[in-house]
Structure 1
Amino acid sequence: MLNAHQLSFQFTAGVPLLQNVSLAIEAGQWVGLSGDSGAGKSTLGKLLAGYLTPHKGNVILDNATLPTSGVQPVQWLPQSPELAVNPRWRVAKILREAWTPSEAQCQAFGVQPHWLSRFPHALSGGELQRVCVLRALAPGVRFLVADEISTMLDPITQVELWQALKQKAEQRRLGVLVISHDTALLKRLCTQRYHLSNAQLTPIS
């Protein structure tokens, strides 16, 4: 289980972005998170994945703190995939940074063989997002934070990406936090949903 306990965080002194926020995600569970722009959704996702350190509280994975080296068991996937890759690396190296997926695994996410020799700028946003999602599924990964990963994609690509991710998550019992403004998407994918507002997390019935 991934457990965030009483997290508090702020960028500006005296202005809490998150205050005593707690959230638990079980293996295989899909949890949805909505909220207004600037409410702190991405910040919470980064805290869960170890990209940020909470000012108060802690993030625990199976009764232990998150590791500080190696492939991280909690992966954060940002809305803009170009922010998550080295622009000087070809796609093959970007994938190998985490693992080397098989041809069948690449096909499942629509990653074409001829992409592997290209640099990130030579791919569309949807193509690069497929690469980033595939990279995040390295062995040892237990949880994913999908932060608006389909917002900029066309409808067909959105469906294909979520279908592939859903199938892989079910096979490996990955826990997934889906951050999105799309309430219909959250209803369709998630068994539990929360809304973040005024630094507080509220369950949605």
Structure 2
Amino acid sequence: MLEARQLSFQFASNEPLIQSVSLTLKAGEWVGLSGDSGAGKSTLGKLLAGYLTPQTGEVCLEGTALPKNGLQPVQWLPQSPELAVNPRWRVGKILREAWRPSEAQQQAFGVQPHWLSRYPQALSGGELQRICVLRALAPGVRFLIADEISTMLDPITQVELWRALKKEAEKRQFGVLVISHDTALLERLCPQRYHLSGGKLKQCSEQLEQCSDPLLPR
């Protein structure tokens, strides 16, 4: 279980962006997070993954603090994949930095073999995002923070990506926090959803049954 306990965070002299936020994400669970631009959704995601340190409160994995070194069991996936890779490395090296997925796993996420010999700037944003998602699924990863990861993708590619991710999550039982402005997408993917506003987290009243396939109607 990934648990945030009474997190508060602010940048320099700005107003507090996150105020006493608590959130629990269980193994195999999909939770949605919406909010206006600038509300602090990405900041909360970075706090949960250990990229930022809260001024107050703590983030715990199975009751203990997140590890400081080695493979991180909580992976944050940003909206802009080019910010998450070394532009001087070929894509194959970027992927192997974390693990060596099988050909079948690469195919499931639409990763083409010839991409691996290219540099990141030679791929489209959508292609590079597929690489980053696959890289984040290394053995030992327990939770994903998916921060607007399908915003730049066309509708068909979005469905393919979420299908592959849901299948892998079901098989390995890792939890996923989906951060998105697209409330319809969150309703499709996440039975439990929250809205962040004014630094506070509010649970959406309507709870839906989890949909196994984002393409299928409920």
Same fold (TM over 0.5): yes
CA distance in 2, matches of 1:105, 1:150: 19
Partner of 1:158: 158
Name the residue aligned to 1:98: 98
Give the share of equivalent positions with the same residue, in percent: 79
**3-state SS of the aligned residue for 1:69?**
coil
Task: Give 2:138's aligned amino acid.
Answer: A
Report how far residue 191 of structure 1 moved.
Answer: 1.4
Question: Where does residue 12 of structure 1 map in the other structure?
Answer: 12
Residue ranges of structure 2 left out of the alignment (5+ in a row): 206-218
Q: What runs of 5+ residues in structure 1 fail to find an aligned partner?
A: none
- Residue 70 of structure 2: aligned partner: 70
- Superposed, 1:172-191 pairs within 5 Å as 172-191=172-191
Alpha-carbon shift at residue 14 of structure 1 (Å): 5.4
CA RMSD for the aligned pairs? 0.6
Aligned residue for 1:116, secondary structure, equals: helix
| 1:135 matched to 2:135 | yes
Cα separation, 1, equivalents of 2:190 and 2:174? 13
Spell out structure 1 runs of 4+ moving beyond 3 A: none
Alignment of 1:144-155 (within 5 A): 144-155=144-155
Show the counterpart of 1:30: 30
Match of 2:213 in 1: none
Residue identity matched to 1:75 = Q
| C-alpha distance after superposition, 1:61-95 (max 9, x if no partner) | 00110001111000000000000000000011001
TM-score (norm 1): 0.99
TM-score by length of 2: 0.93
How many residue pairs are counted as aligned between the two chains?
205
Shift, 1:13, TM fit: 2.1
Question: 2:157 is aligned with what amino acid?
Answer: T
| Cross-structure match for 1:167 | 167
Give me the whole-angstrom Cα distance separating, in 1, the residues matched to 2:52 and 2:118: 31
